[in-house]
Amino acid sequence: MEVNGSVAVVTGGVSGLGLGAALRFLDQGASVAMLDVNEDQGARIVAEMGDRARFLLCDVTDPQGVASAVAGVKEMLGRIDVLVNAAGIAPAQRVISRDSDLFDLELFRLVITVNLIGTFDMIRNVAGVMAANELSTAGERGVIVNVASIAAFEGQIGQAAYSASKGGVVGMTLPIARDLGSLGIRVMTIAPGIMDTPMLAGAPQELRDALAKLHVFPQRLGTPADFAHLVQAIVENPMLNGEVIRLDAAARMPPR
């Protein structure tokens, strides 16, 4: 699918990886709707982006909010060709803490609700809109790109909830691609390694350097631009479907 002239929805679109994808889409001639809970940042960013950018306040854990945001994008921009599901949270907790506290079950539920159920809710609502698109010359109606993590495969200490949520995203990629294939909608997932985004901003330089060394080559943190480059490649390559791509410079995470 051509990025130029398309309409993209990006959740988590006002920060980090989502913002990187939104900026690249705009640069390549797409219209972009950024859905996020961070209203201040959304208003600030969209004001600098020109008239092909929109911000919609949307919490992916709120089914009514998701349905009305997706309907709002369709109303504002006419259709939806691409969805990037980048909204996510990554709180860490051990199953049993050093003080013998048990993992907070509400926190576990929250991580699953945002990262897994929120992603699925966006997919079903946006696929409903994509299904009404005219077929492109390549026979496509839409492309969906999810964001998992290499923690889906090598979760570290404290990542039980996060890894479960991202493992869920990995697991549902193929069946959703199979469900939507007859409509001409492709579904892919990117599993990033350690990326330099606000999620990592609080980390001291020493830790950032140590994390970068987990990448084999190139031995640096990934960037939102690296992510955005892969998103565009996925959108443009019609044979990519139902698969998870690691974007991690050959990193394999140790236990901690």
Which residues are part of the catalytic machinery? Answer: 162
CB 2 → ligand NAD: shortest distance, Å?
25
Give which of 231, 233, 232, 210 is closest to 220, Cα–Cα. Answer: 210
Minimum CB distance to ligand NAD smaller for 140 or for 149: 149
Q: Under the rule (CB under 6 A), what is the footprint of ligand NAD?
A: 11-12, 14-18, 36-38, 58-61, 86-90, 114, 118, 147, 149, 192, 194-195, 197-200
Minimum CB distance to ligand NAD smaller for 171 or for 238: 171
CB 99 → ligand NAD: shortest distance, Å?
27
Q: Side-chain half-sphere of 248: how many Cα atoms within 13 Å?
A: 22
The Cα-based distances of 88 to 10, 16, 17, 79, 148 in angstroms read 12, 11, 10, 25, 9
Minimum CB distance to ligand NAD smaller for 184 or for 249: 249
Beta strands 82-85 and 142-147, pairing class: parallel
For 40-72, b/e burial (b = at least 16 CB within 10 A) is ebbeebbeeeeeebbbbebbbbeeebbeebbee
Minimum CB distance to ligand NAD smaller for 87 or for 184: 87
| Cβ(4)–Cβ(72) below 8 Å | no
CB 37 → ligand NAD: shortest distance, Å?
4
